[in-house]
Amino acid sequence: MERMGETSKLDWWRSAVVYQVYPRSFADGNGDGIGDVTGLTSHVGYLAGLGVDAVWLSPFYPSHLADGGYDVDDYRDVDPRLGTLTQFDAMVAALHGAGLRLIVDIVPNHTGSAHPWFVEALASPRGSRARDRYIFRDPLPGTDLPPSDWTSIFGGSAWQRVADGQFYLHYYAAEQPDLNWANPEVRADFARTLRFWSDRGVDGFRIDVAHGLAKDLHADPLPSQAEIDRIGPGPDHPMWDRDEVHAIYAQWREIFDSYDPPRAAVGEVWVASPQRRARYATPAGLGQAFNFDLLRAPFEAGAFRSIVAANLDIAATSGSTSTWVLSNHDVVRHPTRYGLPQFADADDAQAMAQAWIASGGCEPAQDVALGLARARAATLFMLALPGSAYLYQGEELGLPEVAEIPPSARQDPAFFRSEGREMGRDGARVPLPWTRTGPSFGFGASLSHLPQPPWFGEFSVEAEDATPTSTLNTYRQALALRRRLGHGEVLEWMDTGDDDVLALRRPGGWMCVTNFAGRPAVRPPGRLLMASGPLANHDLVPAATTLWLMEE
Ligand code: NOJ
């Protein structure tokens, strides 16, 4: 427990490095091809050795897996394919024993369609108490059309017709019916769930679609999709980022604060501005909110600098710290993103990456070495920032996105609901390679639930362990230094006289210099602590490289 003592017990999350585990693809303890709780428990030593402070565990609950577990059928149990509650408790004990904290994912916007409440709603008449837990509506008057033309995030209509002609809202897959948060039973049940996991010792929660719970669907007729797109997230949008959502989190905060130490929370929040995001991150609310700005930005000095500046300012005024993310289970892994041609904006980047996956990883041509160099440089830049950093499993191996998954093996509802126009997120969710060889590269005893490509062994923990300059050893070195040097929550920008080079200083003299250009740049003075890539000439910062220096 030594490491826990080093950070403040109460606000450990303010500067934590949190490692996201997508449990079905992390490690398979029982050899059935699906990652599980015992698989995670047996790799706690690996995570402690990597140097992270906490694990965020994506949904591990009973689920029909229409959306990778984000369709929850029972919020207070473990999917039997992943383990049992007893195994969960043993995992918590192992993590705590190694000085690591645990954040679990809570999915309150929608349940799975096999959740007993939804089964009951389908079997109950219109206007019933069971239907009121969800959002059921009659068709447009005089027609059998859905109440509005709203589209699901994964494609197709956001309304699904049921046997008696009513429709229910599902902003995601049809197997993810949206809950009605105006219903007191819904609120009470989630309060119970938060206590259930807090009582089992979890240290915090990641809140899925945190901006979407409060809905106002009273307008008659409902506004069109074009209208709500024009309105955008905010107080006038019928679903996203309405002001009433904060009353829910104020109630949750009372629950979190009734524990010692208080439970932490971080919201997945897609809103219009860092200012709106900060409203979720106040001490009276969730405490922290995800900032996806870096993840959506091109590898470009100006973009990175303005994102950092804006978010640090806002975080300070909300009483929180900023979060930083480069990869997660929803996006194309950052070494691949940065190896594709530079893009104009995030939507363009997404379209390009999806085209690249659809071509089996051929078009547009990717510069693999440059992508990895930029990814490592961006990671070192991110880890030098005040606030907390969220890492996604496999990024410490420099894993690229896997393009070569055949349609028959794909799992993402985005692929199916868009009829293959979107390839989806499976390429970031392929089970991790632990060993150079073996039937599933050490993931488990048998083949993995998503196919691994033949080249996966090169990126395995075993291969990278043995190479001092590997991405894995670079992450380990960086996390150990960050733990030692990352004091305070401020940064000072340094003048580099070069628009492509960002340099910043943290209290105590720790400096981070990132060269975003494709040519070397002049290196500022300071003792070299580490570099994100090879250094041929110690007077220069190579292209696409970050150096950490100590003021002399
Ligand atoms: C956000 C999660 O990160 C994503 O994986 C999921 O598909 C949606 N929320 C719906 O739960």
Three-state SS string over 501-538 comes to EEEEEECCCEEEEEECCCCCEECCCCEEEEECCCCCCC
Planar angle of CA 259, 263, 264, nearest 5 degrees: 160
Task: Mark whether 208 is an active-site residue.
Answer: yes
* pLDDT at position 144: 96
Which residue in the list 71, 73, 79, 268 is annotated as catalytic? 268
* pLDDT at position 8: 63
CB contact set of 68 (below 8 Å; sequence gap of 6+): 22, 24, 58, 59, 329, 411, 412, 425, 429
Q: Which residues of the chain does CATH 2.60.40.1180 include?
A: 489-550
The DSSP 8-state label assigned to residue 249 in this structure reads: H
Check if CATH label 2.60.40.1180 holds for domain 489-550: yes
Q: What is the mean pLDDT of each run of 10 residues along the chain (552 residues)?
A: 47 96 98 97 98 98 98 98 98 98 98 98 98 98 97 96 98 98 98 98 98 96 97 97 98 98 97 93 96 94 96 88 97 95 83 92 94 98 97 98 95 93 95 96 93 97 97 98 94 97 97 98 97 94 98 96
* pLDDT at position 445: 86
Residue pair 540/520 in contact by the 8 Å Cβ criterion: yes
Planar angle of CA 144, 148, 150, nearest 5 degrees: 125
Measured distance CA(97)–CA(2) in Å, rounded? 9
Q: Which residue minimizes the CA distance to atom 6 of ligand 1?
A: 70
With the most atoms of ligand 1 within 8 angstroms of its CB, the residue from 20, 61, 208 to mutate is 208
* pLDDT at position 3: 37
**Residue 209 Cβ contacting ligand 1 at under 6 Å:** yes
Look up the CATH architecture of domain 116-169.
Alpha-Beta Complex (3.90)
* pLDDT at position 5: 36
Locate 250 and state its tokens. 């104020």
Measured distance CA(403)–CA(338) in Å, rounded? 15
Q: Which residues of the chain does CATH 3.90.400.10 include?
A: 116-169
* pLDDT at position 89: 98
Nearest atom (ligand 1) to Cα of 154: 7
Locate 99 and state its tokens. 């000085």
**Residue 426 Cβ contacting ligand 1 at under 6 Å:** no
